[in-house]
């Protein structure tokens, strides 16, 4: 939709050009979120396209994804064959929305928006990713994916700070099998629970990235394949206040679905019988 309040449009080629960050400024990557609802508080859009941060790189340490990487580029990219866990990245793209949206939407945009229904957040947590953040002065620092989001639509980013790239360690990509499960009120629309399960068949280690049902995404890890009872008890460790309770779904139901999807995710990976991504 048209954003009537926008007065200024900046297209910096480097961060140095946007030193004096104002409270009514907003980063603009693909725009698919910003242009989807009124933004009465925003007067200036800072377009990130000319920063040229859209790379996908395979490095000895692992995978590096530039913040403004178009989501569909992940679908087309040829990852090393051993990196089986990149399947979860592709699922995050496919489960975002229509394929036309992910022609424009960026990976970093989805992460920084920090909606509870983010499809990338639980993937990045399951894959043990870390985020390289640039401060306004250009100084970088790293934060673990798990520590990035503090509440729905709130992150640790300070005004003027920006996500530069996402790094996924080689050790969490190689040989890990993944499954992506989501549930929404309807078959499409905002998820009320997303479970990304990563399973290492040789070690039997299991990492669950949990999103959608809780206020900020979380990790649950197991050294061996968990029993249903272990899943229930692990979820029991979450305080009831951690669950989102709103008109889309009650806390009790979200908790129940979280557990069902965890069970389905691990069953799928250990039996090898591929199930659906959506329920």
Partner 1 sequence: MPDSLNFQVNNQSHNTKCNPGTSLLSLLRSLGYAGVHRVCESGDCGSCTVWLDDKPIHSCIYPAMQVDSHQITTIEGLENGKLSPMQQAFLDKQGFQCGYCTPGMIMTASKLEYNSEAELRAELEGNLCRCTGYEAIIDSILECGNDNLVKPITAKEGQVGKNIPKQDGPNLVTGKPVYTADWSPPGLLHLKVLRSPYPHARIREINTTKAEALEGVEAVFTHKDVTRRAYSTAGHGAPVPDPLDHYLLDNKVRFIGDRVAAVVAETEAIAAIACELIEVDYEILPHAIDPVTAMKGDVVIHDEPESSQIHDAAHNIAGEVVLEKGDLNTGFAEADLILENTYILPAVQHVHLEPHVSISWLDEDGTLVVRSSTQVPFHCQRLLSELFDIPKEKIRVYKPQLGGGFGNKQEILSEDLCVLATLKTGKPVQWRFTREEEFTATNSRHAMNIRIKTGVKSYGTIVAQEMEAISNTGAYGNHGETVTFLTGCFPLGLYRCANQSYKGTVVYTNTMPAGAFRGYGATQGTFAMESQLDEIASKLNIDPIKLRQQNLITTEDEILIGREEHFHIIGSYALDECIEKVTQALDYDPEKQPETKGHIKRGVGFAATMQASGLAKIHLASVKISLMPNGQYELRTGSVDVGTGSDTSLRQIAAEVLGTTVENITIITADTHNTPFDAGSYASATAFITGQAVNLAAQKLRSHLLKTAAQIIEVNTEELKLDEAKISGSQTTIFLKQLAQEAQKRGESLSVELEHTSDRASLTFAFLGVEVEVDTETGRIKVLRCAEAIDIGKAINPRICHGQATGGLVMGLGYALAEELRFNEQGKILNPGLRTYRIPAASDVPPMEIFLIEKADPYGPFGAKGIGEIGTNCTAPAIANAVAQATGVRLKQLPMIPERVWMAMQKLE
Q: Which residues of the chain form contacts with partner 1 (CB under 8 A)?
A: 1-9, 28, 31-37, 45, 47, 49, 97-101, 103-104, 183, 185-190, 247-250, 253, 256-257, 260, 279
Buried b (16+ CB within 10 A) or exposed e, 190-228: ebbbbbbbbbbeeeeebbbbbbbbbbbbbbbebeeebee
CB atoms within 10 A of CB 264: 17
Minimum gap (Å) between residue 258 Cβ and partner 1: 11
Measured from the CB of residue 205, what is the shortest distance to partner 1 in angstroms? Answer: 26
Q: For residue 76, give both structure tokens.
A: 């087309």
| DSSP states of 53-122 | ---EEEETTEEEEETT-BHHHHHH----TT-TTHHHHHHHHHTTS-TTGGGT-BHHHHHHH--TT-SHHH
Nearest residue (CB) to partner 1, 3 versus 219: 3
Nearer to partner 1, 190 or 222 (CB): 190
Give dist(CA 156, CA 54) in Å, integer: 22
Q: Cβ of residue 88: shortest distance to partner 1, in angstroms?
A: 19
Q: Which is nearer to partner 1, 205 or 248 (CB)?
A: 248
Residue among 20, 63, 64, 22 nearest 44 (CA)? 22
- C-alpha separations of 213 from 62, 115, 146, 155 in Å: 29, 11, 15, 17
- Smallest distance from the beta carbon of 251 to partner 1, in angstroms? 11
We find the least distance from the C-beta atom of residue 214 to partner 1, in angstroms, to be: 16
Closer residue to partner 1 in complex, CB, 58/251: 251
Residue among 160 and 249 whose Cβ is closer to partner 1: 249
115 or 146: CB nearest partner 1: 115
As measured in angstroms, the least distance from the Cβ of 134 to partner 1 is 22
């Amino acid at each position: 939709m048209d954003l009537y309040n926008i007065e200024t449009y900046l297209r910096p080629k480097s961060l140095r050009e946007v030193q004096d960050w104002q409270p009514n400024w907003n980063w603009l990557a693909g725009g698919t979120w910003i242009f989807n609802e009124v933004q009465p508080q925003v007067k200036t859009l800072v377009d990130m396209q000319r920063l040229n941060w859209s790379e996908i790189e395979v490095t000895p340490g692992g995978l590096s994804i530039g913040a403004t990487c178009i989501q569909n580029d992940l679908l087309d990219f040829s990852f090393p064959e051993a990196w089986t866990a990149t399947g979860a990245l592709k699922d995050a793209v496919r489960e975002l929305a229509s394929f036309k949206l992910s022609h424009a939407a960026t990976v970093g945009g989805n992460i920084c928006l920090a909606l509870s229904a983010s499809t990338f957040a639980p993937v990045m947590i399951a894959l043990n990713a870390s985020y390289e953040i640039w401060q306004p002065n250009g100084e970088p620092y790293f934060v673990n994916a798990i520590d990035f989001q503090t509440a729905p639509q709130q992150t640790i980013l300070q005004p003027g700070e920006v996500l530069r790239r996402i790094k996924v360690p080689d050790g969490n990509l190689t040989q890990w099998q993944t499954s992506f499960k989501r549930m929404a009120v309807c078959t499409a629309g905002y998820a009320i629970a997303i479970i990304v399960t990563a399973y290492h068949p040789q070690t039997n280690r299991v990492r669950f990235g949990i999103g959608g049902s809780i206020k900020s995404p979380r990790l649950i890890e197991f050294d061996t394949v968990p029993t249903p009872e272990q899943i229930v008890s692990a979820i029991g460790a979450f305080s009831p206040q951690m669950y989102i309770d709103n008109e889309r779904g009650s806390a009790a139901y979200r908790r129940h679905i979280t557990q069902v999807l965890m069970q389905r995710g691990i069953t799928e990976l250990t039996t090898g019988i591929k199930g659906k991504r959506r329920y």
